[in-house]
Amino acid sequence: STSSIAYSVGVTLDRFIKMKQDDFPYASGELSQLLRDIALASKIVNRETNRAGLANIGGAFGQTNVQGEEQQKLDVIANIRFTRALTKGGEVCAVVSEEDDEVIDLQNGSGKYVVAIDPLDGSSNIDVNISIGTIFSIYRRKTPVGSPITVEDIMQPGNQQVAAGYVLYGSSTMLVYTTGHGVNGFTYEQSLGEFFLSHPEMKAPDDGKIYSINEGSYNQFEEGLKQYISYCKDKNYSARYIGSLVADFHRNLLKGGIYIYPATTKAPSGKLRLLYEANALAYIAEQAGGAASNGHMRILDIDPTSLHERTPLYIGSPKMVAKAEEFLKAHK
Ligand code: AHG
Ligand code: MN
Ligand code: MN
Ligand code: MN
């Protein structure tokens, strides 16, 4: 049968989406098309990240974004590529991007979906050739299709996501996503321009021995977190921190581990953004059997109050997240 042939040469993303079509709550195919649009943009961004040093698209763009960060050229390029692909795809009515101060209203009266995106995650690593990523969340708009975009469409808690995923531009380029029926990983075959299913049904190990945190801010950590870090050291865990959330998250998802970007005295809500970093990875983590909290509550239950709001993030193997929360609670 064709399915056995497909498995022997590898299932492409397109074929997988088609096979899973009946899993989608709204099997009219728009979400499938939207996932394809995102995959297409990621292939273009992949090509540009692979040649940044040659095409003079490395380095700073010369503007500061709403985060107060100096935008890198690739931040801007990736933002344009993804926004353009989502506009052309026709399924999306609004985009929230790390790189745009305001909601981008695509003026698309038939778009059913809202996308929140971090077009390029780990920008500080672009020029030193360390893995970077893209993170996205997909929601259905809440107000009637064709009506003006409202706050209700945009400020949705993470538990309303219909899909979420990330692209990892690493030693190989991977697309990992969920539509609420488990997590599947696809590896990009450059020579064919196709993503092939390489990591079916990804599962987070229940426990792990890797902790990822920027200990440079140790003196600003709350007491419970300091105690948890000492606990990790007593257990001889490995410290692994790349400075690219997607890469750290992906390694911990495969091997078991916890990634922490905590509240600090300088950044009481941490650094990572709820709408286009924490929510997407929290949905993926939970769909893979992992956990994601802000230290005391589930990320997916946080009601957003502002577009670029930040949240502390404790994410990865459920037993490790629970242990960290235990230490935080004990030292409140
Ligand atoms: P972005 O490049 O999208 O702004 O995100 C960067 C984030 C995340 O990728 C990374 O883990 C974290 O910033 C690193 O922050 P520190 O350098 O403060 O550790
Ligand atoms: Mn940034
Ligand atoms: Mn980011
Ligand atoms: Mn970014």
> What's the pLDDT tens digit per position in 258-303?
999 999 999 999 999 999 999 999 999 999 999 999 999 999 999 9
Closest atom, ligand 1, to C-alpha of 125: 2
Q: Answer yes or no: is pLDDT of 55 > 90.
A: no
Q: Band the pLDDT of 61: cuts 50, 70, 90.
A: confident
Among the bound ligands, the one closest to the CA of 119: 4
Report the percentage of the chain scoring pLDDT > 90: 85
Residue 268 to residues 14, 225, 271, 309, Cα–Cα distance (Å): 42, 14, 9, 12
Give the pLDDT score at 23.
Answer: 63
172 is an annotated ligand-binding site residue: no
Mutate to test the pocket of ligand 1, among 245, 248, 269 (most ligand atoms within 8 A of CB): 245
Nearest Cα residue to atom 16 of ligand 1: 243
Alpha-carbon dihedral 90, 76, 196, 179, rounded to 10 degrees: -50
112 is an annotated ligand-binding site residue: no
> Residues with beta carbon inside 6 Å of ligand 1?
69, 98, 118, 121-123, 214, 243-245, 271
Residue 296 to residues 64, 222, 226, 314, 320, Cα–Cα distance (Å): 32, 13, 16, 9, 13
Give the pLDDT score at 120.
Answer: 97
Residues 114-125, mean pLDDT to the nearest whole number = 96
Question: What b/e string do you get for 171-210 counting C-beta neighbours within 10 Å, with b at 16 or more?
Answer: eebbbbbbbeeebbbbbbeeeeebbbbbbeebebbeebbb
What secondary structure, in 3-state letters, does the chain show? CHHHHHHHHCCEHHHHHHHCHHHCCCCCCHHHHHHHHHHHHHHHHHHHHHCCCCCCCCCEEEEECCCCCEEEHHHHHHHHHHHHHHHHHCCEEEEEECCCCCCEECCCCCCCEEEEEEEEECHHHHHHCCCEEEEEEEEECCCCCCCCCCHHHHCCCHHHCCEEEEEEECCCEEEEEECCCCEEEEEEECCCCEEEEEECCCCCCCCCCEEECCHHHHHHCCHHHHHHHHHHHHCCCEECCCCCHHHHHHHHHHHCCEEEECCCCCCCCCCCEHHHHHHHHHHHHHHCCCEEECCCCEHHHCCCCCCCCECCEEEECHHHHHHHHHHHHHCC
Q: Answer yes or no: is pLDDT of 2 > 80.
A: no
Give the pLDDT score at 18.
Answer: 86
Closest atom, ligand 1, to C-alpha of 272: 7
Q: What is the mean pLDDT of the chain?
A: 94
Closest atom, ligand 1, to C-alpha of 246: 9
Nearest Cα residue to atom 6 of ligand 1: 122
Residues 38-50, mean pLDDT to the nearest whole number = 95
Closest Cα partner for 245 from 163, 129, 167, 159?
Answer: 167
Residues 298-326, mean pLDDT to the nearest whole number = 98
Residues 73-101, mean pLDDT to the nearest whole number = 96
Give the pLDDT score at 294.
Answer: 98
What pLDDT digit, counting tens, does each position of 197-243 carry?
A: 999 999 999 999 999 999 999 999 999 999 999 999 999 999 999 99
Give the pLDDT score at 9.
Answer: 64
**Contact by Cβ (8 Å): 202, 283:** no
Residue 329 to residues 81, 82, 222, 228, Cα–Cα distance (Å): 43, 40, 11, 11
Give the pLDDT score at 51.
Answer: 87
Instruction: Report the half-sphere exposure of 16 (CA within 13 A, side-chain side).
Output: 27
For 214, the token pair is: 């920027």
What is the pTM (predicted TM-score) of this model?
0.95
248 is an annotated ligand-binding site residue: no
Give the pLDDT score at 27.
Answer: 61
Residues 135-148, mean pLDDT to the nearest whole number = 97
**Contact by Cβ (8 Å): 154, 114:** yes
Q: Band the pLDDT of 7: cuts 50, 70, 90.
A: very low
122 is an annotated ligand-binding site residue: yes
Q: Band the pLDDT of 26: cuts 50, 70, 90.
A: low
End-to-end Cα, the chain, rounded Å = 60
Quick count: other Cβ atoms within 10 Å of Cβ 298? 15
Q: Band the pLDDT of 22: cuts 50, 70, 90.
A: low
Give the pLDDT score at 5.
Answer: 47
Between 124 and 23, the higher pLDDT residue: 124
Amino acid at 248: D
Nearest Cα residue to atom 12 of ligand 1: 243
131 is an annotated ligand-binding site residue: no
- Please report the ipTM that was assigned to this predicted complex: 0.97
